[in-house]
Amino acid sequence: MSHRSNAREGILVGCGNPLLDISATVPMHFLQGYGMKEDDAILAEERHMPIYRELVENYKAEYLAGGSVQNSLRIAQWILGQPKVAVFFGCVGKDNYADILREKAREAGVDAHYQVSTDTPTGTCAVLITGTHRSLCANLAAANKFTIDHLKQPANKALVDNALYYYISGFFLTVNPPSIMSVAATANAKQRPFLMNLSAPFISQFFMEPLLKVMPYVDIIFGNEAEAHAFATTQGWPADADLREIGKRLVALPKINSARPRIAILTQGCDPVLLIQHDTVQEFEVTRLAVHEIVDTNGAGDAFVGGFLSQYVQDKSLDVCIRCGNYAARHIIMNPGCTYSGEPDFVE
């Protein structure tokens, strides 16, 4: 990796679900057979369990190191060009998939400290590509086994205490809210930014209670259109509220550290990214891609956050962070899966 940034090691800590993505292009009837829609993001139920083997046996499946937060940290590392700026915590099994994940994280420069579950396999995520759409079906497996004990181990606690920035996905609310609250409390005590992602509509629909518990600690909240609307609906906000109004309501939710007002950053595909702070809404144009340039939208949201984080940990202004987020998302969409190619050429 060429050294492009002077951010110190371990400045950013992320917690999430390490998943091995099993990615393949499938026909529409494959999705329908599993009761799925285009662009779904769901947790696997019993009926979905054969999906992973079927992908490997019947389609040209590729393995990629996945999981939302790990994706974002990989992208941030790629742009920073300097290893071990980002530390990642999550739980894997004791198996070949975990070895692949470790190797992929190391190659990407992410300093992964996995908890290991000896009785549960490493989590997997089926990434089903239909045209320019992708649908996700995650079997968390070992990722579900993460416990706060892992963060309390002296070496890991030191890594958490040493960080200056913290990022956790809403997906992690399904796994271990106490760990999230612990990291959030550390960030708050040390007056350091705590960033979170709404992650998927089902998080707001089914995990609103733990989400609202952690929200007072959240300094920057990310989300896309569908996720923001799901949050608003579950909260009983006006049905006709547009994205700007939802963003304003998100930043106005109770906050523990009122000296650092919350910021909401909402993406809407190829429409402008909204930056909402106080009562202001700023728009950031997204460069539209031609249809033939779009390879796979898988990971575009994760990439946006990764691009944002790469600049944020260097103390760049929010507009630079968002422009880099858009740059990263655009790059990822032009590659299969949440993968990148070549050297990053983002210019402030």
pLDDT tens profile 140-188: 999 999 999 999 999 999 999 999 999 999 999 999 999 999 999 999 9
Please, is 259 exposed, middle or buried when counting C-beta atoms within 10 Å of its C-beta (0-12, 13-18, 19+)?
exposed
How far, in Å, CA of 126 to CA of 141, rounded?
Answer: 13
Mean pLDDT of the chain: 93
Overall average pLDDT of the 257-273 stretch: 94
The alpha carbon torsion through 298, 303, 305, 311 (nearest 10 deg) reads -170
Which pLDDT score is estimated for 3?
A: 45
Residues 6+ apart with CB under 8 A from 32: none
232 pLDDT more than 80: yes
Task: Cite the active site residues.
Answer: 302
Question: Per the confidence metrics, is the pTM higher than 0.75?
Answer: yes
Phi, psi of 29 (to 5 degrees): -65, -20
Tell me the angle at which helices 177-189 and 154-162 cross, rounded to the nearest 10 degrees: 50
Count of other CB atoms within 10 angstroms of residue 148: 14
Which pLDDT score is estimated for 307?
A: 97
Name the band, by pLDDT with cuts 50, 70 and 90, for residue 203: very high
Which pLDDT score is estimated for 296?
A: 61
Which pLDDT score is estimated for 30?
A: 96
Overall average pLDDT of the 71-86 stretch: 96
The two three-digit tokens of residue 242, written as one number: 């547009």
Overall average pLDDT of the 200-208 stretch: 95
How far, in Å, CA of 182 to CA of 162, rounded?
Answer: 14
| 83-87, 160-164, 293-297: segment of lowest average pLDDT | 293-297
Q: Are strands 165-169 and 194-197 parallel, antiparallel or unpaired?
A: parallel
Query: Do residues 196 and 222 make contact, with C-beta atoms less than 8 angstroms apart?
Result: yes
Going along the chain from its start, the domains and CATH numbers come out as 12-18+67-122+140-334 (3.40.1190.20)
| 32-41, 88-97, 114-123: segment of lowest average pLDDT | 32-41
Top pLDDT among 96 and 133 is at 96
The alpha carbon dihedral of 303, 305, 308, 312 has a sign of: negative
Phi, psi of 139 (to 5 degrees): -105, 100
Could you tell me which residues are beta bridge partners of residue 130? 133
Segment 325-340, tens digit of pLDDT: 999 999 888 776 677 8
Overall average pLDDT of the 4-15 stretch: 90
Q: Are strands 86-93 and 133-139 parallel, antiparallel or unpaired?
A: unpaired
How far, in Å, CA of 269 to CA of 225, rounded?
Answer: 8
1 pLDDT more than 60: no
298 pLDDT more than 90: no
Name the band, by pLDDT with cuts 50, 70 and 90, for residue 40: confident
Name the band, by pLDDT with cuts 50, 70 and 90, for residue 39: confident
Overall average pLDDT of the 112-137 stretch: 93
In SS3 terms, the chain reads as CCCCCCCCCCCEEEECCCEEEEEEECCHHHHHHCCCCCCCEEECCHHHCCHHHHHHHHCCCEEEEECHHHHHHHHHHHHHCCCCCEEEEEEEECCHHHHHHHHHHHHHCCEEEEEEECCCCCEEEEEEEECCEEEEEEECHHHHHCCHHHHHCHHHHHHHHHCCEEEEEHHHHHCCHHHHHHHHHHHHHCCCCEEEECCCHHHHHHCHHHHHHHHHHCCEEEEEHHHHHHHHHHHCCCCCCCHHHHHHHHHHCCCCCCCCCCEEEEEECCEEEEEEECCEEEEECCCCCCHHHCCCCCCHHHHHHHHHHHHHCCCCCHHHHHHHHHHHHHHHHCCCCCCCCCCCCCCC
Phi, psi of 49 (to 5 degrees): -60, -35
Name the band, by pLDDT with cuts 50, 70 and 90, for residue 213: very high
